[in-house]
Chain A
Amino acid sequence: QVQLAQSGAEVKKPGTSVKVSCKASGGTFATYALSWVRQAPGQGLEWIGGIIPDLGPPNYAQEFQGRVTIVADESTHTAYMELTSLRSDDTAVYYCAAIWLQVIYWGQGTPVTVSS
């Protein structure tokens, strides 16, 4: 079993950045296929990017290229997603998710509100 615990809610001003963490327990962190997914209010799910800690560089969705950075710290079993140049339409719940042994585990979600 894998458990993912995310950092708490954030309120940010337009143009600033947000960094969300996702601490994992269980399984083998280095071999997770870790992804970040977001859900805007009343909307569906949108993939942001993913990383496999043991295998090198992350992959980002085209829509977020240049604004997002995903890293994984194997020493602390924690993944981070930083989104810069925030806009009001980045207001969403951000989820981390990990695939391990074919099963997909989700964090509880981190609400991010972008408002002036």
Chain B
Amino acid sequence: QSALTQPASVSGSPGQSITISCTGASSHFADYNYVSWYQQHPGKAPKLIIYDFSNRPSGVSSRFSGSRSGSTASLTISGLQAEDEADYYCSSYTTSTAPWVFGGGTKLTVL
């Protein structure tokens, strides 16, 4: 059982928006703990799409956005495209050597 809880699957049609939640203990969202989101296509390494709850690395589409409310982080993908079909993972981490924790992953299906 993962320390962070994500829905197993979500789906949406092209052009729609979807949101994936990531819920954890308060400790995972305490000071100096951050949440990141990854997109993973089959057979590929995870790709960072959001870090520090809501920041996008350079080169990541603005269709991806992250937010936080209490002990829940959320990833929203707007204007769904076929290429967004992938697994999505959230992770709580620090910039020290403290353990990272992951959600179990959410499979996004674009209908």
Contacts and interface: CB of A to CB of B under 8 A. Distances in A.
Interface of A: 33, 35, 37, 44-47, 49-52, 55, 58-59, 61, 95, 99, 102-109
B89 A59 contact: no
Contacts of A33: 94-97
B51 A109 contact: no
Interface stretch (B9-17, B19-27, B68-76, B101-109): B101-109
Contact-size category for B = 20 to 34
Nearest to A47: B100
A45 B102 contact: yes
A51 B98 CA distance: 9
A45 B48 contact: no
A7 B95 CA distance: 25
A95 B104 contact: no
Contact of B101 (A47, A59, A99): A47
